Amino acid sequence: MEEVRKSLPTLVIVGRPNVGKSSLFNAILKRRHAIVHFDSGVTRDRVSTTGVYNGRRYQLVDTGGLAMYAGEKKGVGFWDNSIEKQVETAIEEADTILFVVDVNDGLTPLDQEISARLRATGRDIILVVNKVDDYGRNEGVEEFHKLGYKKVFPVSSLHRKGIQNLLDGALAEFARNAAETEENEPRLRIAVVGRPNAGKSSLVNKMLGKERVIVSDVAGTTRDSIDVDFTLPCGDEDVPATLIDTAGLRRKSKVDSAVERYSMMRASEAVEKCDIVLFLVTSDQFGATAQDKTIAKMIGEAGKPCIIVANKWDTCSGLKQQDVLKEIRYTLPKLVYAPVVFTCAISGYNVKLLYSAIAEVRAQMSIKVSTAMVNRILEDAENRYSAPIKGTKAFKIYYGTMIKNPPPTIALFVNDPKLLADNYKVYLENYIRKAFGFTGMPIRLEFRARERRELVFIEHKATVKKQGKNRGVKLKAKKTTVYLRPDSKKRGVKKTDESEKNG
């Protein structure tokens, strides 16, 4: 499975740290997509997304800052290998490079070195002079003409000034084609989440068949949510999908910087917007950690289909999968519906099995259950185990119908939702899941109160008595009350009253 190459014009933002690359990225998109902070080096992986300008679609890529380091092991001129590798890959895929500099810092030696390296690529380059907040004066921009670029655009990412001119210049030379104007093909969005150092980025790279995101033993290496389009093999079908690598979710008490808070917010947003969650935990005899339980709760509350990926199985010599599975089930009761796949992201162990699990969950997302079938299962569930009685009233289900999927949501019309016991709700959820399958899918039951409706029939019968003391017309009224219940077996006459009147 490989990353999908875009046929759209690709604009790649490059520059040294803290010149406003991520701010420019967000300003072009008119939304906050990349994390922005005053600290340098916040962006590490390359962040890519599709933008639209004047009806034309294009691919925009943000990259980490290129810097030089000095030290015992790193001499002057040494580029951070991980970030440099990401930038080089982005440049190889670029149609146009947006080379960003900072007008406040002026032309620096590092700018000049980056410029020389970019020219050697042979790519089309646009020089973007950022932080020109006094857009009318353009003071300091002239200095950058020394670099010899024909296309120089002063902009202010903070105030979104000059962005339109920049896009006009960047996209002018690209001929419009069908790929630019057609709608985005619906993609299966798969978010990879877990606590720090669970192996999320390693799994993403293994699934893509390349080192797309930076992998390190240092917890918190991934900061932004990285979206990568790829083709997912689902049996005989190739499904367009997007894989989302997220930052490790730590306990709130351990989050000690604004960047980490932004990272956790982006990871939470990824869960909210995805179709399927791959939840990575570490395979060991202790089961899930407290933070794993917090993440599981977040996934459950979001109502997302989920697969638990028990990673690093290669480190569990002497353990049996069934024993570890038992601990996972015991410590993660919120995700009882999620299948568990044991993997080793580094070696690729069971990654193909993970594809099969994703395909199975995806198939469940399109299941529609008829109202008749829902009520047949509900009736069977009630016959097997009646709802407990609260006080003098019994909880009664009139009927149910499926109103949404995913997640599978069934509306149950009942006499009084307050009479429902928690254990009976769990029983119904488990019974429905067992009946319909719904692998990896949370089931939501919505209990709605519905009053009984009744019809009253009054039948009058007149008799005439011509002689005797009570001669005259005598009316006999028969009142019949019928209570309407959705289930036909319990529909019928509830009460009959008869009365007589002499007229």
Mean pLDDT lowest among 60-69, 297-306, 466-475: 466-475
pTM score, whole prediction: 0.68
Structure tokens at 4: 């999908």
Taking residues 160-179, report their average pLDDT. 80
Looking at the DSSP bridge assignments, the partners of residue 342 are 310
Q: pLDDT digit string (tens) for 404-451?
A: 998 999 999 999 999 999 999 999 998 998 898 888 999 999 999 986
What element of type H or E holds 357? helix 351-364
Q: What DSSP string runs through 28-46?
A: HHTS--S---SSTT---S-
Contacts of 46 (CB under 8 A, 6+ apart): 61, 62, 63, 64, 86, 87, 89, 90, 226
Nearest to 297 by CA among 324, 320, 279: 279
Superfamily of domain 10-181: P-loop containing nucleotide triphosphate hydrolases (3.40.50.300)
**Residue 370 per-residue DSSP state:** -
Q: How far is C-alpha 57 from the chain's CA centre?
A: 23
pLDDT at 56 (0 to 100): 84
Per-residue pLDDT, averaged over 61-72, amounts to 66
How far apart are alpha carbons 259 and 35 in whole angstroms? 7
Q: Which two tokens stand for residue 317?
A: 């010599």
Residue with the larger pLDDT of the pair 296 and 246: 296
The answer to whether 222 and 44 have CB atoms below 8 angstroms apart is yes
Pairing state between β 56-62 and 10-14:
parallel
Please state the φ and ψ torsions of residue 459, each to the nearest 5 degrees: -110, 125
Extract the tokens encoding 199. Answer: 């192996």
Q: Encoding tokens for residue 87? A: 């930038």
Q: What is the mean pLDDT of residues 234-256?
A: 73
The alpha-carbon radius of gyration of the chain (Å, integer) is: 33
Q: Is 325 exposed, middle or buried (0-12, 13-18, 19+ CB in 10 A)?
A: middle
DSSP letters, 288-330, are --HHHHHHHHHHHHHT--EEEEEE-GGG-TT--HHHHHHHHHH
Q: Which helix (H) or strand (E) holds 267?
A: helix 258-273
Q: Is the pLDDT of residue 400 over 60?
A: yes
In DSSP terms, 480 is beta-bridged to: 457, 496
Residue 69 has a CB neighbour count (10 Å cut-off) of: 12
The amino acid at residue 193 is V
Domain boundaries defined on the chain: 10-181, 188-364, 371-449, 453-502
Looking at residue 75, its amino acid is G
The burial class, CB within 10 Å (0-12 / 13-18 / 19+), for 466 is exposed
Judged against a pLDDT cut of 50, whether residue 217 lies above it is answered with no
Q: Is the per-residue pLDDT at 135 higher than 90?
A: no
Residues 204 and 228: their CA atoms lie apart, in Å, by 9
What tokens appear for 243 in the block? 């894989």
Q: 188-364, what's its fold?
A: Rossmann fold (3.40.50)
Answer whether residue 178 shows pLDDT above 60. Answer: no
371-449 and 10-181 share a CATH fold:
no
Q: Which CATH superfamily is domain 371-449 in?
A: K homology (KH) domain (3.30.300.20)
pLDDT band at 238 (very low <50, low <70, confident <90, very high): confident
Per-residue model confidence as pLDDT tens digits over 332-354? 998 999 999 999 988 999 999 99
Q: What amino acid is encoded at 409 in this protein?
A: T
Round the average pLDDT of the chain to a whole number and report it: 80
Is 177's pLDDT higher than 80? Answer: no
Alpha-carbon span 406 to 133, nearest angstrom: 47
pLDDT value, residue 222: 45
